[in-house]
Amino acid sequence: MEPFDWQQIFINELTGQFVLEIIFRTAFMFVVVLVILRLSGKRGIRQLSIFELAIIISLGSAAGDPMFNEDIAVLPAVIVCITTIGLYRVITWITPKSEKFERILEGEPVYIVEEGIMVFKDDAKDTLSKDEFFAELREKGVEHLGQVKTAILETNGNMSVFYYPNEEVKPGLPILPKIYSQRTARIDKTGVYACAYCGRVARLSSGQHNCARCRHNEWIEAQKSKRTDLP
């Protein structure tokens, strides 16, 4: 190969049929990336939507290969980028016009807590691990679930939390690590306890009990402390 062979650098063996194949490959892999990201859940993407992340991955991959692979010409990569941006324009034009299409593309917000109790879902791909969820609440100044009226996992991976006013705070599942680690399957004294799995609160006598809601049997003494981060 001669240095600065412009034919090799920009065109190589590009044909009209191969251009059509590039457009098809790009559209197909773009859909594949969207589906994979949609199935994998939201927590890995944080501030970006699934669609925006798919755009970034597609463009990054298209731009990266011809940088170091002499068998890949620049022009096909440019076609990939143009096709990706074209798909972006089409999808962003369709999305505001169709709520159903938007739900398919971005998903829907997921309720994690309602009325101070963990929400169960049959499809758990979008829900958080308990440790991760508790960590997010602690960052927002929450000590127990009785302070939380509603917590929602948004489509961009962020967590929205709505609190009870301090005068309405009720007993709830403590989420501070040292206290949560004291969960036990045997109650030593009568009192108000929270299920360590779902957060349901009940007054229990000494002995062993299964949660009437989730059937788990580990409990922690419920807390009713008020939020201290209020002005």
At 162-188, the pLDDT tens digits run 999 999 999 999 999 999 999 999 999
Proportion of the chain above pLDDT 90, given as a percent: 40
Task: Supply the pLDDT for residue 127.
Answer: 47
The residues near 130 (Cβ < 8 Å, ≥ 6 apart) are: none
CB 192 within 8 A of CB 219: no
Chain-wide mean pLDDT for the chain?
83
Task: Supply the pLDDT for residue 128.
Answer: 60
CB 33 within 8 A of CB 61: no
Map residue 204 onto helix, strand or coil.
strand
Long-range contacts of 212-217 (CB under 8 A, 24+ apart): 213/117, 214/120, 217/185
CB 199 within 8 A of CB 173: yes
Map residue 132 onto helix, strand or coil.
helix
Task: Supply the pLDDT for residue 1.
Answer: 56
- E-assigned strands of the chain? 110-114, 117-118, 148-153, 159-163, 191-195, 201-204, 219-221
Task: Supply the pLDDT for residue 122.
Answer: 45
At 4-22, the pLDDT tens digits run 777 777 777 777 888 888 8
Full-model pTM: 0.68
**Domains along the sequence of the chain with CATH:** 6-106 (no CATH), 110-221 (3.30.240.20)
Q: Output the furthest CA–CA distance in the chain (Å, rounded).
A: 86
Q: How many CB atoms are closer than 10 A to CB 86?
A: 13
Q: Say how many Å lie between the first and final Cα of the chain, rounded.
A: 71
Task: Supply the pLDDT for residue 65.
Answer: 76
Q: Residue ranges of the chain with pLDDT lower than 50?
A: 122-127
> Any bridge partners for residue 184, and if so which?
219
